[in-house]
Structure 1
Amino acid sequence: MISFASFPTQTQNYGITKHHPDVQDDVNMDIVFDEEDLSSKRLTCPGEVLTSSQTFMRGHGTYVVDEEVISSVAGTIEKVNKLISVRAVRTRYNPEVGDLIVGRIAEVQPKRWKVDANSRQDAVLMLSSVNLPGGVQRRKLESDELQMRTFFEEGDLLVAEVQAFFADGAMSIHTRSLKYGKLRNGQLVVVPPVLIRRLKSHFVTLPCGVDLILGLNGYIWVSKHVKDNEQEGEEGFDAEAVYSNRNDAIDDATRSAIARVSNIIRTLATYFVPLTDAVLLEAYEWCVEQEGGVADVLQQDVGEALVAALNAPR
């Protein structure tokens, strides 16, 4: 016979404040870090005392021992009013409806594709959730199912939007807009998802002729600049160009710019710098001013100088 034992409840002493005997009662010494320290502290380690449970409420990534809130994971401290939580550094992507993601086709199944999106489960891209030749909103036919690999096949990269969730928690994504779909003419850079900040637009164009797609799942696509497509919303579109596997011709200057931006992203991720369009633009301008090589930013001394320059007071 299997018996289940409940977890012991945390005892609470309401109205009782414990202080060191040498500390006067009118001095509040419960908080280990004040609010400014909590907001400025970037990383914490497991077992580190954050604050007092009598002043703040514990959130995800924390636990309470002897009326003290303690971090249970390595990550960044987040404070919302009186709620303290720790967002883990190394964790899988936790999707939300409306998120922009970059993924890789992992498997082709009947009427759907399985997509690796750096999450706990593979995402699902239904055949009914993509644009097909002959009309954006037309019905999907049996012939379309037989030609699924002409649209996406194993190993293809794509940008999509989280549409909904299935009963098992897997996310359903779509590429109905022509700004989504197969990715070409660039390279993929993988960073921890916690470093990607939510922006007004995750499609970024740098002055050096490089386009960035900052996927909230930690996958960043760096490619040559492509002019805005004016065909969105029309019934007809160039399916051969949209689903082509062949890259366009890329000149040496653009290749160097793509490689430089990719190396900058890798360096900033190494030093756990949150990635936004403003930060990446400032970092690129700094690297150009140094007149160094494309790979110089990967050196430790150059990387430290870059991070110091970004953190310098303005």
Structure 2
Amino acid sequence: MISFASFPSRYEDTTYEKTRHHASVKEDFMDIDDAESFEAQGSKLTCPGESLTSSQAYMRGHGTYVENEEVIASVAGTIERVNKLVSVRAIRSRYNPEVGDLVVGRITEVQPRRWKVDAHSRQDAVLMLSSVNLPGGVQRRKLESDELQMRGFFEEGDLLVAEVQAFFSDGAMSLHTRSLKYGKLRNGQLVVVPPILVRRLKSHFLTLPCGVDLILGLNGYIWVSKHVKENEQEGEEGFDAEAVYSNVNDDIDDSTRAAISRVTHIIRILTSRFIPLSDTLLLEAYEWSVEHGSDVKDLLHQDFGDALVVSITSGQ
């Protein structure tokens, strides 16, 4: 269920309160002291200055402070509770990585035996030459000739999908692309959203019935692209390096281009209203837009976007 927290009474007469809430979203106070209610409600948005719970029963975490024996939010974000610790995860914040996370990034620099990658975090991530898939088999030893040809694999500006492997001593992410489902991205469009709005799913590789593939990076970078058949991704031994590391996009027909555009507009509509993304929500939103919109350009109208949000959130 997606619900928005009510504001304190001192904000009720301001214009900020009117613009903060969408008419379609049901406002519902959630008693944070009730653990079962807290878990059932899911992500709950709050604003600075709002009282969350009693400081006598709970400990304050990041994004909160104590005043008059109450835990109060200091940033706008979602309330998170771990046992007796209450914190607020800010909506506008950099990505905080964890090992195993799927991320989408952009190459910013080619260095000896490594690439620097912008992954929407506090500092650039690192992709080592030993952590990529190279011609001749994934387990083969990397040679000096491979180091000389690094720009043939990834160069500045290239987009890629990778997995967080570990962390260096300075906190920088170490990435790897040892599976063929990871690597360079082509035939699509990048959409940047707040990382907090990308939910952790069983799989972050999604395929919509319209022939569009989605990669939901937990760092807030989402890749929307032409569908690639599974048999084109298999066969790691002796794979076609020219195809995997090519910078040339395939031919994309007009219907696929329209579908990619429609999906990117839907993502922007949902995230502009701070609605967390999931596979089922995106599929429902796409089907609704096809049924009620004759053209992709309809999604550019605010009224159409408001109606879409009302429809998909009314049953949440």
Q: Same fold (TM over 0.5)?
A: yes
Aligned alpha-carbon RMSD (Å): 1.8
Residue 34 of structure 1 deviates from its aligned partner by 5.6
The aligned residue for residue 176 of structure 1 is 178
Q: Which runs of 5+ in 1 are unaligned?
A: 1-30
Q: Distance in 2 between matches of 1:127 and 1:33?
A: 48
| 2:89 is equivalent to residue 61 of structure 1 | no
TM-score (norm 2): 0.86
Shift in alpha-carbon separation, 1:33–1:169, aligned structure 2, 3 A: closer
Q: Distance in 2 between matches of 1:191 and 1:126?
A: 27
Residue 208 of structure 1 deviates from its aligned partner by 0.4
Comparing 233-242 and 207-216, the one that deviates more? 233-242
Shift in alpha-carbon separation, 1:273–1:32, aligned structure 2, 3 A: closer
Comparing 42-51 and 63-72, the one that deviates more? 42-51
Comparing 202-211 and 40-49, the one that deviates more? 40-49
Letter in 2 for 1:74: A
1:26-105 aligned at under 5 Å gives the runs: 35=34, 36=37, 39=41, 42-105=44-107
Q: Distance in 2 between matches of 1:184 and 1:40?
A: 35
Match of 1:155 among 154, 157, 161: 157
The aligned residue for residue 3 of structure 1 is none
The aligned residue for residue 256 of structure 2 is 254
> Partner of 1:97: helix, strand, or coil?
coil
Q: Deviations over 1:138-168 (max 9, x none)?
A: 1111011011000000000000000000000
Q: Distance in 2 between matches of 1:166 and 1:292?
A: 51
Alpha carbons 1:105, 1:156 under 8 Å: kept: yes
Residue 33 of structure 1 deviates from its aligned partner by 6.1
Alpha carbons 1:56, 1:84 under 8 Å: kept: yes
Q: Deviations over 1:183-226 (max 9, x none)?
A: 00000000000000000000000000000000000000000100
The aligned residue for residue 288 of structure 1 is 290
Amino-acid identity (%):
77
Letter in 2 for 1:313: G
Q: Deviations over 1:199-255 (max 9, x none)?
A: 000000000000000000000000010011466464211000000000001110000
- Structure having greater relative contact order (Cα 8 Å, sep ≥ 6): 2
> Partner of 2:296: helix, strand, or coil?
coil
More helix by share: 2
Match of 1:208 among 207, 210, 221: 210
> Partner of 2:261: helix, strand, or coil?
helix
> Partner of 1:284: helix, strand, or coil?
helix
> Partner of 2:147: helix, strand, or coil?
helix
TM-score (norm 1): 0.86
Q: Which runs of 5+ in 2 are unaligned?
A: 1-29
Bigger radius of gyration among the two: 1
Alpha carbons 2:31, 2:38 under 8 Å: kept: no
Letter in 1 for 2:247: N
Q: Distance in 2 between matches of 1:253 and 1:230?
A: 21
Q: Distance in 1 between matches of 2:232 and 2:32?
A: 53
